[in-house]
Amino acid sequence: MGRIAYVNGRFVPHAAATVHIEDRGYQLADGVYEVWALFGGKLADPEGHFARLERSLGELSIDMPMSRAALTLVLKEAVRRNRVTEGLVYLQVTRGVAPRDHAFPNPSVRPAVVITVSRVDRAQSEARAAKGVGVVTTPENRWGRCDIKTVGLLPNVLAKQKARAVGAVEAWFVDDLGFVTEGASSNAWIVDGDGRLRTRATNANILRGVTRYSLLDVIRENGLEVDERPFTPADALAAKEAFITGAGSLVLPVVSVDGKPVGDGKVGPVAARLRRLYIEQAKASAI
Ligand code: PDD
């Protein structure tokens, strides 16, 4: 059976799924998205992702295309039709289709909704996590509203490509003061010399990662200490461990920054344990 996508009220074969050329997401990046990890066919961290979706849409004055309950049913139906148990669900909501004009269409139009489901090879992901990955650094050059999960991702695209070109998996943006903000599609963490977890506070211009928040709960429940303080790439190299979090990466150990080893250059016990604990939590709370 082939892949199925959801496009504006219809389930259609993935290969035939299209949006209008004047969709404002396509022409103006005027839209937002969410990504859920799927465990056993269920959506991980549902509350966090729905809440952020509603917030992102609210900040852009785009209506929720349907109620949260209805959207949950549609997302789950998309998963069922694709017969994916381990994977990712992508939801995109744009302002809709209207003749090109920078200002909002007046009267407003119906938001456009796209959902796709993709499979993840968990064995392959676990093998990658066991080895750890490299990151590269790149100057922060994004707009001032990175808290909104918009589809306007060109700086993230270029940063990720910079990483890919040298065999790294993620790029960390570094601000004018020399501190890491976050990754191109993940949040950044270190385990400092005192064994304390460090990640940037969300009052900075970063995405409020849902995985980040869930992991903070896991960390506190397990009696570990967290310090939401920024760190530099040099701090990361001097740290015991580093890792990234996101719906795609889950908790993924980082063993090098710009080709130099983090700590002893091997995956450390804290990141490996947090990955296990996070996945347990995500499976338990999935719907
Ligand atoms: N990215 N920071 C950025 C810039 C991101 O794009 C993401 C997620 C995160 C982590 O957020 P969360 O834990 O809620 O997934 C942080 C998704 C997975 C993506 O773009 O595919």
149 is catalytic: yes
Confirm or reject: Cβ of 246 under 6 Å from ligand 1. Answer: yes
pLDDT at 1 over 90: no
pLDDT attached to residue 115: 98
Structural element, H or E, at residue 172: strand 170-174
Closest Cα partner for 101 from 30, 151, 8, 33? Answer: 30
Contact residues for 16 (Cβ-Cβ < 8 A; gap 6+)? none
Mean pLDDT, rounded, for 256-265: 97
Confirm or reject: Cβ of 187 under 6 Å from ligand 1. Answer: yes
Whole-number Å distance between alpha carbons of 60 and 80: 31
CA of 217 to the centre of ligand 1 (A): 18
Report pLDDT digits (tens) over 189-229: 999 999 999 999 999 999 999 999 999 999 999 999 999 99
| CATH topology classification for 4-120 | D-amino Acid Aminotransferase; Chain A, domain 1 (3.30.470)
Question: How do beta strands 87-94 and 31-39 pair?
Answer: antiparallel
CA of 45 to the centre of ligand 1 (A): 13
Candidates 115, 149, 202, 244: which one to mutate for ligand 1, based on the most atoms within 8 Å of Cβ?
Answer: 149
Residues of the chain with CATH 3.30.470.10: 4-120
Residues of the chain with CATH 3.20.10.10: 125-285
pTM for this prediction:
0.98
For atom 4 of ligand 1, which residue has the closest CA? 185
| CATH topology classification for 125-285 | D-amino Acid Aminotransferase; Chain A, domain 2 (3.20.10)
Question: How do beta strands 87-94 and 226-227 pair?
Answer: unpaired
Counting from 1 in the atom list of ligand 1, the atom nearest the Cα of 90 is 21
- Report the first-to-last Cα separation within the chain, whole angstroms: 24
Mean pLDDT, rounded, for 268-276: 98
For residues 233 and 270, the answer to whether their CB atoms sit within 8 Å is: no
Mean pLDDT, rounded, for 235-244: 98
Whole-number Å distance between alpha carbons of 143 and 55: 18
Report pLDDT digits (tens) over 103-133: 999 999 999 999 999 999 999 999 999 999 9
Confirm or reject: Cβ of 43 under 6 Å from ligand 1. Answer: no
CA of 77 to the centre of ligand 1 (A): 23
Pick the catalytic residue from 149, 162, 240, 283: 149
